[in-house]
Amino acid sequence: MEKENIAVGLDIGTTKIVAMIGKKNEYGKLEILGVGKSKSLGVARGVVNNITQTIQSIQQAINDAETNSGYKIKDVVVGIAGQHIRSIQHTDYISRSNPEEVIGGNDIQLLIDQVNKLAMLPGEEIIHVLPQEFKIDGQSEIKEPIGMYGGRLESSFHVVVGQASSIRNVGRCIQSSGIELSGLTLEPLASSDAVLSQEEKEAGVALIDIGGGTTDLAIFKDGIIRHTAVIPFGGNVITDDIKEGCSIIEKQAELLKVKFGSAWPGENKDNEIVSIPGLRGREPKEISLKNLSKIIHARVVEIIEQVFTEVKAYGHEDPRKKLIAGIVLTGGGAQLKHIKQLVEYITGMDTRIGYPNEHLAGNSDEEFSSPLYATAVGLVMNSIANNTQSAVRKEEVVPQRTVFYREPVVERVERFEPEVEEVQTQVPVYSKNEESTGEKIKRSFFDRYVDKIKDFLDNAE
């Protein structure tokens, strides 16, 4: 029987951690087998700042996903984000030893390996090397060089760079959670796989993923990634503004934002008021929805303007770089009421909300087609593309697990009994200075512990 290609994606966000297990069905769609979700503790603005708390949150999400799916997770593809991420454009080339041979995948890999050796700033590491357009012996605008003849193979690259320490911290959290790290993917790239169509990537599109701690941007044109950026603001900053502006606690601020929040103040009438319960018997607090929308509007405008600055930096006003498909919004922040209209107003570009349901199987839970899960779905798709076998059915693991736990216990019991007898016979004739060679070679922890106690008692006398 052919083994199932089971893939696992782990989205370590600032607000939530999602572990998603999936596989491709016979129609090429993604079938979700199980999802585990936990509150993200120890992550701020996409960067791990508390190892212990992050490990606990990851373990909870992994355990939930395993329980829901009946699969045992072996390894995961993890999304990486954070304000330390930056991207650069780089051009490199190789001279081929035999131009009479056609260009193969190994030539492109040689060129990518060469770019991977680029000297970065201290403490930085290359995460992705993404080839854009190729040039062979001066002939430009080649998208697929394999199978062509040529002596000089040149390409422009989009290189994504991040802080080495932040990347290693993520790896440490994964391994300490008892699973392996099979790959790292930039989160906006994962989200783009989940919510963008090939037509949009060809026409030119900017994907804006508004998360809890960061807002990620990925720009595509002619089917190629052109620009990526991570803005260190997200939905949590909006919640903080509501908390400060309305003098309420964070939990209430988050609920207000989700249930009654709007990015367009004109939508709310002056007499619309929501009552918040007071703390410990205090009077309830009345909050005007118009004022709430004004607070949200001010911060969302700031986030969108920062993202739009990055879009301008790409050069979208150049007719050759025009983003015909406009903007696609995804992530938890895309669920904010009237955010689509506000983005269109600020940027003047067509905007839609991106849902990952296009790639999901028809029987998938409606919850997973929410923009919240765009990154997790993209990570699972990325893992499938790498042809990984990241999880196995739990019943396949059980026999091995039983043997693994039973054997050490039996061995410990067999070794332990003689050692106890040996200690009992040795204690009465104990001498500090007399030790046989056999005792020196093999002394158990228990023997040393007894010796320490006797030393202590002798010195006390």
What pLDDT score was predicted for residue 276?
87
Going by DSSP bridges, is the β-strand pair 139-142/124-136 parallel, antiparallel, or unpaired? antiparallel
Strand residues in 164-260 grouped as ranges (E): 180-186, 205-210, 215-221, 224-231
What pLDDT score was predicted for residue 459?
59
- Residues in Cβ contact with 82 at an 8 Å cutoff, skipping those fewer than 6 apart: 45, 46, 47, 162, 163, 166, 214, 230, 232
Give the span between the Cα atoms of 181 and 169, in whole angstroms: 12
3-state secondary structure of 120: coil
Give the span between the Cα atoms of 433 and 444, in whole angstroms: 18
Going by DSSP bridges, is the β-strand pair 16-24/30-39 parallel, antiparallel, or unpaired? antiparallel
Residue keyed to tokens 């043997």: 403
* CA R_g for the chain: 29
What pLDDT score was predicted for residue 359?
86
What pLDDT score was predicted for residue 362?
80
Taking alpha carbons only, the member of 271, 405, 262 closest to residue 336 is 262
Give the span between the Cα atoms of 192 and 206, in whole angstroms: 9
Give the span between the Cα atoms of 129 and 155, in whole angstroms: 11
Domains and CATH numbers, the chain: 86-161 (3.30.1490.110), 398-460 (no CATH)
Model pTM? 0.80
What pLDDT score was predicted for residue 405?
36
Tokens representing 1 are 């029987």
- What stretches in the chain show pLDDT beneath 50? 1, 398-446, 449-450, 461
Tokens representing 400 are 């091995």
Could you give the angle at which helices 289-314 and 235-246 cross, rounded to 10 degrees? 150
Give the span between the Cα atoms of 321 and 445, in whole angstroms: 70
Give the span between the Cα atoms of 144 and 131, in whole angstroms: 10
Going by DSSP bridges, is the β-strand pair 139-142/180-186 parallel, antiparallel, or unpaired? unpaired
What pLDDT score was predicted for residue 3?
60
CA 192 to chain centre: 14
SS3 sequence of 341-355: HHHHHHHCCCEEECC
Give the span between the Cα atoms of 458 and 461, in whole angstroms: 5
